[in-house]
Amino acid sequence: MRKFIITALVAGSCAAAGLVAAPAFAEPSGACAGGPGGVVTQPGAPGGTSGGIAVCVPGTGAVSANGDAGGPSGSLVADGDSGNQAPANGYVGVQSDGSSLQVVGECGADYSGSDTTPLFDTNNPTAQPTAPGAACGTPAAP
């Protein structure tokens, strides 16, 4: 898990360079299909303002980062394959629509490019956080 988080940070650094998000696949690690895993980049159109990168570990998941300086908007998300034990079968990350920064996450789900029920939103910092979902199990008592 530590390597997965470190990979997320590396991918986030690459997002600042202006690379485009990888296309959607049945499993997050499928973004690097046809190889032993690794990095997939999709530069934006010449003269464009967007781009992204995905770093995949076959059978485990992927970390993707994308951004659009024209928006500005973007996301950095670690997304586990469905075969992982909860909560690693879900996703966690951050996204922005240009007006706020949101922490997102869900167990037993894949990130689809936007999460409309963030765990935290800088536009509403005192709101009750959205629960991450029943697939995560019952939280331990404090």
pLDDT at residue number 103: 94
User: Is 20 within the bounds of a domain?
Assistant: yes
pLDDT for 22 equals: 40
30 within a domain of the structure (yes/no): yes
pLDDT tens digits for range 27-63? 887 776 655 567 777 777 788 889 888 888 888 999 9
Asked if residue 64 lies in contact with residue 53, where contact means CB atoms within 8 angstroms, the answer is yes
Residue 142 forms part of a structural domain:
no
Region for 9 from its dihedrals, namely left if φ exceeds 0, alpha if ψ lies in -120 to 50, beta otherwise = alpha
Inside any domain, residue 141: no
- Rounded mean pLDDT of 70-75? 90
Average pLDDT value for residue range 77-96: 92
Name the residue range of residue 72's domain.
2-136
Q: What pTM was computed for the model?
A: 0.71
Residue 91 lies in a domain: yes
Number of H helices, E strands in the chain: 1, 7
Q: DSSP for 57-111? A: ETTTEEEEEEEETTTTEEEEEEEE-TTSPTTTTSEEEEEE-SS-EEEEEETT---
Q: Is residue 33 part of a domain?
A: yes
- How many structural domains is the chain composed of? 1
